[in-house]
Amino acid sequence: MRNTKHITAGAMTIALTGIIIFMERITAGFFMSFLSLPLIVYGYFYSLKSSIPVYFSCIFMAFIITGFPPTIIQMTGYGLVGLVSIFATEKRMTRQRTFVLMSLAIIPVYAVMVGFFGAAFGFAIPEMIQSLNNLFPFINNPMIITVFAYVSLGVTALMEVFIIKVSGDLVIGLLHKHFKK
pLDDT by residue, tens only, the chain of 181 residues? 567 777 888 888 888 888 888 888 788 777 888 888 899 999 988 888 888 999 999 999 989 988 888 888 888 999 999 999 999 999 998 989 999 999 999 998 888 888 777 776 667 788 888 888 888 888 888 888 888 888 888 898 899 999 999 999 898 888 888 766 5
**Residues 134 and 10: beta-carbon distance below 8 Å:** no
Q: Identify whether the C-beta of residue 17 lies closer than 8 Å to the C-beta of residue 35.
A: yes
CATH number for the domain whose boundaries are 2-176? 1.10.1760
Domain spans, the chain:
2-176
Whether pTM > 0.75 for this model: the answer is yes
Query: If we measure between CA atoms, which residue out of 167, 169, 175, 164 comes closest to residue 81?
Result: 164
